[in-house]
A and B are shown apart, each in its own frame.
Chain A
Amino acid sequence: MSDTGLQAVFFANRDRLLRFLAAHGAGDAAEDILQELWIKISTSAPGPVAQPLSYLYRAANNLMLDRYRSARQATKRDADWSEAETDGAGRAQDPVGERPLIAREHLRIVQQELDGLGERVAFAFRRHRIDGAPQKLIARELGVSLSTVEADLRKAYRALIAVRRRLDEA
């Protein structure tokens, strides 16, 4: 699939992508975001894409998440403009000197949380979130059903997202 192929798929599925953005709550901005998506795919050649429609959906999803992140950051800045600096992605940045120390501490907390979930859950999470292995493969590796892996992963993601939230609020 060439880049022009991706662009053709974009045009053929313009309405579907608009509906998807609307479902995300894009509202009046949906057309603008679609335009942004178009510029993205026509300026940065992503290389061969095997599932072009899925690729476009994912890119649209990421754009919505980026927007949501910026909006949240803006709200947060308005609420407390003197708070910590943020990097380009809008993630909180700690003063340089403290970063390694904080990172090590965070890693320790995350590791502890993972270990506490049990070996199978921790294994499934690492395979999925860090190695990028799909759930079907993890199910085969563990010799358990897909729904067990799904439940394990929900449990692990929920626990780690909660950890992240605690760390952010600390």
Chain B
Amino acid sequence: MVIKQDQHEIEDQALAWVVNLRDADFADWEAFEAWLGASPAHAEVYHRLALKDQDLDDVLSALVPAPALQAERRANHRWKWPAIGAAAAILLVGVVSVRLSVAAPEHYQIATRAGERRALTLAGGTNILLNGGSTVTLDRKNPRFAELKQGEALFTVTHDAKNPFAVQVGRDQLLDVGTRFDVVRTKSEMRVAVAEGAVIYNPASQKLMLGQGDLLRVAAGGTVAIRSRVAPDQIGAWREGRFVYSGETLARVAEDLSRYAGARVDVSPDLAGQPFRGVISIADPSRLEDLGPLFRARVQRRGDGWLILRR
């Protein structure tokens, strides 16, 4: 144990903890505790630097996100989805992403490949958790806007009545009146489920208010919207590898699994329409065959993906 340390050395170490603790998946709490406890000067210096770091929020909030030039995908290592805290200080971990340039310079796209997940923090404190195989368009000039091009995203929005957060999904628009909601866009439909607070569907036309636990399904290109109820605490459970179904078809289950597990999951046509009730918890996306008994079917490898078929 070091008895007397040079102040500069302590500052260096404290700074390293400030930086490392900002990683959402930081887990080395015991080492941090040991360092803090080693000398009262450690805690003192850490507190001072950590507060100054927090104070940076004010000046940094106006900075735009990192430029896209270098944020290219360099590896395909898969990240474990980290703890997501409600505390504003907790930032979220990112997964491998590809940024594409689009027409308007202030617009930029963030896409995940199947099986990858990524968390984004926008200015103003809005968090977007992007599920696998999803693409979202953001606006550098307007942090209160996002367009879900495809896939699924869980939005946790800091509400601002004067400047509500808008999500564009195809021709539909969702306007937040509250906090947390999940949006899915597939080729066939758009679904929005509200976990907390409220959302207005198409504020310019239908003006449909969706409250906590409301699930709205709108067929692609259609004008028919179906509203039903869903347990609010199950919304966004995919971020933990958990999926809750109450009679959805196996085709829909397969679609969710494909997005999450990063491999194509198909269902044999005779099973596609079969309803499924239950909770699926995926600890290891490479072992989907374990799900067979749950479906009263067989899940077998086929090429790079999986096929659900009759036993």
Contacts and interface: CB of A to CB of B under 8 A. Distances in A.
Interface string B168-205: 00000000000010000000000000011000000000
A163 B63 CA distance: 15
B121 to A, nearest CB: 5
B297 interface: no
Contacts of B26: 54, 58
Interface string A135-146: 101001111000
A154 B19 contact: yes
Contacts of B43: 23-25
A72 B51 contact: yes
A117 to B, nearest CB: 14
A9 B221 CA distance: 47
Interface in A4-26: 19-20, 22-25
Interface residues of A, number: 65
Contacts of A72: 51
B279 to A, nearest CB: 12
Nearest to A137: B94
Q: Which of B21, B40, B66, B240 has the most CB of A within 10 A?
A: B66
Contact of B36 (A23, A58, A123): A23
A161 B93 contact: no
A86 to B, nearest CB: 12
A132 B23 CA distance: 7
Contacts of A62: 87, 89
Contacts of B54: 65, 69
Interface of B, secondary structure class, is mixed
A44 interface: yes
Interface stretch (B75-83, B207-215, B261-269, B301-309): B75-83
Contact of B83 (A2, A25, A49): A49
B51 A134 contact: no
B16 interface: yes
A114 B239 CA distance: 34
A48 B235 CA distance: 10
A132 B24 contact: yes
A127 to B, nearest CB: 5
Contacts, number: 183
A34 interface: no
Nearest to B51: A69
Interface in A122-162: 123, 126-135, 137, 140-143, 150, 153-154, 157-158, 160-161
Interface in B211-265: 233, 236-237, 239-240, 242
A131 B15 contact: no
Contacts of A44: 86
A114 B60 CA distance: 11
A25 B40 CA distance: 7
Contacts of B91: 132
Nearest to A105: B59
A111 B79 CA distance: 31
Contacts of A55: 83, 85
A140 B87 contact: no
A19 B33 CA distance: 8
Interface string A45-63: 0111111111101110110
A161 B93 CA distance: 23
A164 interface: yes
B6 interface: no
Interface in B65-120: 65-67, 70-72, 74-75, 77, 79, 81-87, 89-96, 119-120
Given A54-B83, A161-B56, 11 more contacts: A24-B36, A25-B40, A25-B43, A48-B84, A49-B83, A50-B82, A53-B29, A54-B26, A55-B83, A123-B67, A132-B119
16 contacts: A20-B29, A23-B43, A25-B36, A54-B26, A54-B83, A58-B85, A64-B47, A103-B59, A128-B19, A130-B66, A132-B120, A134-B24, A134-B94, A137-B94, A164-B55, A167-B59
Interface of B: 12, 15-16, 18-27, 29, 33-34, 36-37, 40, 43-44, 47, 49-56, 58-60, 62-63, 65-67, 70-72, 74-75, 77, 79, 81-87, 89-96, 119-121, 180, 195-196, 233, 236-237, 239-240, 242
